[in-house]
Amino acid sequence: GESVGLHLPTLSVQEGDNSIINCAYSNSASDYFIWYKQESGKGPQFIIDIRSNMDKRQGQRVTVLLNKTVKHLSLQIAATQPGDSAVYFCAENIPPPGAGSYQLTFGKGTKLSVIP
């Protein structure tokens, strides 16, 4: 199976509430974890990344939390807006030994629906 997965395939939230999207990973060698947003009919869009030596990182209205003990990653969206409706993918970056290349492994995605 894939090393990056999601706890919930769909999530519905009221506009203005906070959203939390969860992701589990299994590879301890991953050095970066990333969240992407994919709106309908578009390609994925980078949101935020977190390095494996951090446990929290904040962006504009988004916060990513990393718990390496339980291999869990989450994306929190504050004051969710209709424009946040999309599929959210977590991804992990596993660097090959001795090389500078990076390959991302994507999870299957969580669909976030914002109720006006």
Partner 1 sequence: DADVTQTPRNRITKTGKRIMLECSQTKGHDRMYWYRQDPGLGLRLIYYSFDVKDINKGEISDGYSVSRQAQAKFSLSLESAIPNQTALYFCATSRSDRAYEQYFGPGTRLTVT
CA distance 65 to 67: 7
Q: Which is nearer to partner 1, 23 or 114 (CB)?
A: 23
- The residue among 41 and 83 lying less far from partner 1, judged by its C-beta, is 41
Using rule CB under 8 A, residue 107 touches partner 1: yes
Residue 55 is classified by DSSP as S
Q: How far is the CB of 9 from partner 1 (least distance, A)?
A: 9
Site string for partner 1, 29-68 (x = CB under 8 A): ---x-x------xxxxxx--x-------------------
- Can residue 84 be called a binding residue for partner 1 (CB under 8 A)? no
Buried b vs exposed e over 83-101: b needs ≥16 C-beta within 10 Å? ebbbbbbbbbbbeeeeeee
Cα(76)–Cα(42) distance, integer angstroms: 22
Would you call 21 helix, strand, or coil by DSSP? strand
Shortest distance in whole angstroms from residue 5 CB to partner 1:
10
Tokens representing residue 11 in the block: 């999530």
Closest CB to partner 1 among 83 and 116?
83
